[in-house]
Structure 1
Amino acid sequence: MQFSLWLALLGAGTLISLTPGAGAINTMSNALNSGFRRSIWGILGQQAALLAHIVIVALGVGVLVAGSPLAFTVIRFVGAAYLVYLGIRQFLAKPALDAESAPALSHDPAWSMFRRGLWVNLLNPKAIVFFLAFLPQFIRLDRPMLPQYLIVAATVIVVDILVMWFFFALTARSLQRFTGDARGQRVVNRVFGVLFVSVGVLLAVIH
């Protein structure tokens, strides 16, 4: 891949990652509830989903999904339902208190956070359609395909990890002053719960 083309990929990938969405909301929620360091597990789950989307598109399956209204609709509604479920659970979550009845971070297992991040990104058929439009811009058919896809995947994933962890997760840390008591935790939980539900509803109704 030419260096100028890679720079274009780097810029496009950064802009895409900075666009708020379900992954950003999930990352900020994890950082608030489980801490900045442990939020990486959810981010890694999201990257596993991105890798799966890239593989799907590279194998040509993405064309079939994008071209099948039924498959696209089923995945879209399943993804929307999962986001709504996460939103309701977040909205109803009770404040985490330590032994002295002071607010404390939750201790979700790493695998639970990874799995949640995986499903948040995986159950988004629009991501497949997006990569169908995005990836071909950086692939040259007259050159070996595998090295190009490896470069694209590595660039997109590394950029997304950096943006999610050092932008969205760090941004969430600035909100921790609002979670210094049980009332603040409830407010933040409800805000993020509403955001999850809103994204889920948008995913369901916007074609």
Structure 2
Amino acid sequence: MSFEAAVTFFVSIFIFAITPGPGVFAILAKAMVEGPKKCIMMALGMVASDLLYLQLACFGLATIADNWSDIFLIIRYLGAGYLIYLGYKMITAFTHNQPISNQQKSQQTPLTSFSHGFLISASNPKVILFYVSFLPTFIDLTRLHGSDLILISVLSSIALMTAIMLVAYGASRLANVIKTPIAQQRLNKTAGSIMIAAGAYLAVNK
């Protein structure tokens, strides 16, 4: 892969990562309530899931989406249900108009956050279709070398992580403008509603 192709590939993956979808909405909602630092492990989980789909696409296993369609359907519904559950928890996180404490916010372990991010991204098997149609523009998949696979994996990881964390940082900066408990409660409800909408979109969108 030439330098120009590598740069184009990086920019394309970055744009793909910030395109609105269930993963972006999940990070957006979490960052609005808990801040960007709490999104790092979730973002890593999402990147790991995307890289898995990337590997599948590189090794010509795209037909898995057809052969294992029932499994993908179950995964998609599990992810959608989880997003809706997270949205509900956000909406009901306030009691007596008091915001949730920092201690309550940090009850999730890093491994749990990572797993949640992986599940959310894995729930969207359409990602593999993107890579299948996108990768041949830059690489001949019939002559794939180990160095090519390492390069596109590194570029994808950096582009995805940068894009996701920029979304998280921007959402957190916007949320920090709102300071009053009532405003924070409304923010939590808005974030929860976004998460529920993302889950519903994932469930009904084929």
Checking the alignment, whether the CA contact within 8 Å between 1:30 and 1:42 is kept in structure 2 is no
TM-score using structure 2 length: 0.84
User: How many Å apart are 1:142 and its aligned residue?
Assistant: 6.0
Checking the alignment, whether the CA contact within 8 Å between 2:26 and 2:198 is kept in structure 1 is no
TM-score using structure 1 length: 0.83
Measure the CA separation in 1 of the matches of 2:32 and 2:109.
15
Q: Relative CO higher for 1 or 2, CA cutoff 8 Å, sep ≥ 6?
A: 2
Written as runs of structure 1 = structure 2, the 5 A alignment for 1:65-104 is: 65-94=65-94, 95-97=99-101
Figure out how many residues of one structure are paired with residues of the other and give that number.
201
Written as runs of structure 1 = structure 2, the 5 A alignment for 1:59-70 is: 59-70=59-70
Measure the CA separation in 2 of the matches of 1:59 and 1:141.
8
Code of the residue aligned with 2:60 in structure 1: it is: G
User: How many Å apart are 1:67 and its aligned residue?
Assistant: 4.9
Matched with 1:150 is 150
| Alignment CA distance shift 1:86-1:60 (3 Å) | farther
Measure the CA separation in 2 of the matches of 1:44 and 1:158.
11
Written as runs of structure 1 = structure 2, the 5 A alignment for 1:45-64 is: 45-64=45-64
Give the secondary structure class of the aligned counterpart of 2:38. Answer: coil
Measure the CA separation in 1 of the matches of 2:203 and 2:125.
11
Checking the alignment, whether the CA contact within 8 Å between 1:27 and 1:169 is kept in structure 2 is yes
Code of the residue aligned with 1:90 in structure 2: it is: M
Structure 1: 5+ residue stretches without partners: 99-103
Give the secondary structure class of the aligned counterpart of 1:83. Answer: helix
1:110-167 deviations in whole A, cap 9, x for unaligned?
A: 22222211111112111122222222322224644322222112111101111221x2
Structure 2: 5+ residue stretches without partners: none
Same amino acid, percent of matched pairs: 25
Checking the alignment, whether the CA contact within 8 Å between 2:91 and 2:189 is kept in structure 1 is yes
Matched with 1:40 is 40
| Alignment CA distance shift 1:184-1:109 (3 Å) | farther
Matched with 1:192 is 191
Report the RMSD for the aligned CA atoms in angstroms: 2.4
Checking the alignment, whether the CA contact within 8 Å between 1:35 and 1:105 is kept in structure 2 is no
Measure the CA separation in 1 of the matches of 2:81 and 2:39.
23
User: How many Å apart are 1:185 and its aligned residue?
Assistant: 2.5
Checking the alignment, whether the CA contact within 8 Å between 2:59 and 2:141 is kept in structure 1 is no
Code of the residue aligned with 2:100 in structure 1: it is: A
| Alignment CA distance shift 1:8-1:114 (3 Å) | same
User: How many Å apart are 1:51 and its aligned residue?
Assistant: 1.6
Checking the alignment, whether the CA contact within 8 Å between 1:34 and 1:105 is kept in structure 2 is no
Checking the alignment, whether the CA contact within 8 Å between 2:57 and 2:132 is kept in structure 1 is yes
1:4 matched to 2:4? The reply is yes
Matched with 1:174 is 173
User: How many Å apart are 1:168 and its aligned residue?
Assistant: 1.0
Code of the residue aligned with 1:186 in structure 2: it is: Q
